[in-house]
Chains A and B, each alone.
Chain A
């Protein structure tokens, strides 16, 4: 038996971004002993990168705003594929969560009369985003971190122990959710610093691990975003939904190469920035889709009038939902009207005085000056789409955030699916984190509380041993046997031809072994090939043959990843950590590719070149991904079989009073005649 450190808690939260910290605060508030586990240092979560703001219909900037309008915008943005109950709860509870954050000390930009100011954003009918400059995510995380420090000091005063009820395990990675029969029993993980394994026994586990962006080459996501929670859920037996929907944020930096993908906040457009092609044309007027025609301006005069007088002007088309803008930029570049480095121009310099730009967008000003040598108060930025957010995630109960089929498992934030449908509106992610983070923490606590001591699940030693053996695999990577060594080399070289230097290097290394025993694969090389594959073949515009090719490459990568070997010891060994993360990225990438291949229409964050239209018959369908082979045979030898099975599931009909919030004419664009008849 492997000797591992064991801890015992009531609720374990995996992830310490906005959703995880909010969940932990809630669970501890219910009086339960709560552990939070994060891969980075406490307070460094990816949430800090959110710039624009938190969407909440507080009505501070426009008194007409209310939750119904926010709900309506959210469904429009998600092309009606949203889990409507989640969208309803989100719109209703977001204001309370923002006010709560303010009472905990968060800094906000203010209106003249001292209330929280709200800014415009794509897809939101009213100025709705509570914000602080362009560092809202940082302030959100800092405030939750401060709150946790405050609670720990309260616990010290009460019990003489800062960590009596709330402990943060930082720089730790969870590799398995452990189970007792069908139920959650805890988690298995390792300390990144020492490489030591640990088990936390707990009846309730909240996944709050964020997204999957590191499976793509051009991404705004940070290194933690390796789909850990998505994979942990699958491995524990919980299904994922909507994995075909990946949001490409329209405006990432495209130059210089080292910072390609880093985000340029939508706030630039909300504050008046416009998109131009190489002819200097404001091209977004050409890309307003049929479903939004009556809501967006048709001339520059009308669009420009909207900033000062939104009640009598229609919105500028630069503020269409993100999927529309990303596709438009992609089309302009493809048509040869792009900027020198393959993007388009985002111009705020000619729209606002320099001083005003510096005041409203200080981080952007700083970011471009330091990283691209561009002064955004004097010249336009070059921007292009970057992988930003995954709408798909764990299939959860809308009210309780409980994962399907696995009692004791909960999920909140980006790792949960459904809330945003096929496309998320800007600003709806920070509010999502707070609303559903709180709900997940609350219901995880209630679930744990309801168990008597004898009902609590137990962690079997065999599970711990299996998890430890799996984690240690990269230190004893299998050599490729005999002639098998040649096959991956050939595929590696093919990948290299399409995918740049990374694939070529791997092919060369494997081939150089002369077909006898191939050396272990470099996990970094595998990762780069994975990113290139997803970027090129399952990216912003998709085609059937390319996705089939992607599945073939993923299968090959999965086989080769069995030989991902690492040097050195377990102490702070980043190569080892990546080798473990690869399992997760390969799992979620397969989900994305399989679901995207299956959905033969274009909707939100899923665009099919071979099926360019939105199809009302697909509107009420979720694609559900589940693990195909049992976890202990995860690294299946048979590449063709794959790890994921896919099934279609009808969504519950949208409640009548919520449908009544829309005009019949609009509903006709989304719902089938049959659905409208009911």
Chain B
């Protein structure tokens, strides 16, 4: 490859590769826009974009924001699926915009992008996350132990650590909770994410407050509301077996073994 013009790094060659646009396709992003300062009503707005099919929905949203309409509003932070800021409803399914490649969601048809459901929309794709985080805080998501703090680490076997590994992967993106039909109908329900985070401590061999957390989830708005539709498991961008975790909490409530 030629790097003759700018020889101090390889970006010139890559920029050249990017600028050949033979592989670009035209996609239509149909975005649910809402601005309470302008209108009470949300509306669909179509944007036609030239995109590489290997680009992500987040890239398409950035393209709109940077080149077409600087007021388009959405949350994003790390842009590769770790921070959990950009969960949205893409073609009717909850996903992270930074992990959804255009080629994987049928770009021949308009791609719909709307805010996650069950939480109040503030502007465009941004929802009020406070009820979601309130449910998280309500399950006491922190290690509770009795006795003196050790001077070094507590010991934990690899097996004990593995027991709750899956539920420590949660990035609090709300994709699961906002895909849950029970939560849509009743925002009082703790929702899958809060239960996942309770599970993370209930099954941690170091923790000594499992009984308390189980009692919280035994509430009328707790785990028994779950109808095992598996929407949450399907929606989780981290591949956490959310429904299974909820079932394990239910079983622990019955057997009191954890």
Q: Which residues of A contact B (CB under 8 A)?
A: 40-46, 48-49, 58, 98-99, 102-105, 107-110, 112-116, 132, 135, 137-139, 142, 146-147, 149-150, 152-153, 193, 217-218, 222-224, 254, 256-260, 262, 330, 333-334, 336, 338, 341-343, 363, 366-367, 370-371, 373, 384-385, 498, 500-501, 522-525, 528, 535-537, 539-543, 546, 566-569, 571-575, 609
Contacts and interface: CB of A to CB of B under 8 A. Distances in A.
17 contacts: A41-B75, A41-B85, A41-B129, A109-B158, A135-B169, A223-B76, A259-B80, A333-B10, A334-B3, A342-B10, A342-B17, A370-B101, A384-B10, A535-B9, A536-B11, A573-B73, A575-B70
Contacts of A523: 70
B84 interface: yes
A270 to B, nearest CB: 19
Interface of B: 1, 3, 6-15, 17-19, 35-37, 52, 54-56, 59, 65-67, 70-73, 75-85, 99, 101, 122-124, 126, 129, 133, 136-137, 140-143, 149-158, 161, 164-165, 168-169, 171-172, 201, 204, 206-207, 239
Contacts of A536: 6, 8-9, 11-12
Given A342-B1, A524-B66, A575 B85 contact: no
Given A150-B140, A342-B14, A367-B80, 14 more contacts: A43-B172, A45-B83, A48-B83, A49-B78, A102-B153, A103-B153, A107-B164, A218-B11, A222-B83, A224-B77, A258-B59, A524-B70, A571-B37, A574-B70
| Interface of B: prevailing SS | loop
A257 B18 contact: yes
Contact of B142 (A48, A138, A147): A147
Contact of B80 (A112, A114, A371, A571): A371
Contact of B85 (A44, A254, A373, A546): A44
Contacts of B3: 333-334
- Kindly name the residue among B14, B80, B129, B169 whose own CB sees the greatest number of chain A CB atoms within 10 A: B80
B75 A149 contact: no
A49 B80 CA distance: 9
Contacts of B154: 102-103
Contact of B158 (A110, A498, A572): A110
B56 A330 contact: no
Contacts, number: 217
B8 A567 contact: no
B193 to A, nearest CB: 12
Nearest to A111: B158
Nearest to A95: B152
A560 to B, nearest CB: 16
A258 B52 contact: yes
Contact of B1 (A102, A338, A498, A542): A338
A224 B141 CA distance: 26
Contacts of B81: 366-367, 370
- Kindly name the residue among B9, B81, B201 whose own CB sees the greatest number of chain A CB atoms within 10 A: B9
A633 B168 CA distance: 49
A115 B83 CA distance: 28
A501 B19 contact: yes
A46 B136 CA distance: 21
A40 B80 contact: no
Given A40-B75, A149-B137, A114 B8 contact: no
Nearest to A332: B10
B85 A193 contact: no
Contacts of B204: 105, 107
Given A114-B156, A222-B77, A99 B151 contact: yes
Contacts of A153: 137, 140
B140 A341 contact: no
Contacts of B73: 572-574
B153 A115 contact: yes
A530 to B, nearest CB: 13
A625 B152 CA distance: 41
A375 to B, nearest CB: 16
Nearest to B206: A105
Nearest to A546: B8
A108 B161 CA distance: 8
Contacts of A498: 6
Given A41-B129, A571-B123, A575-B71, A258 B55 contact: yes
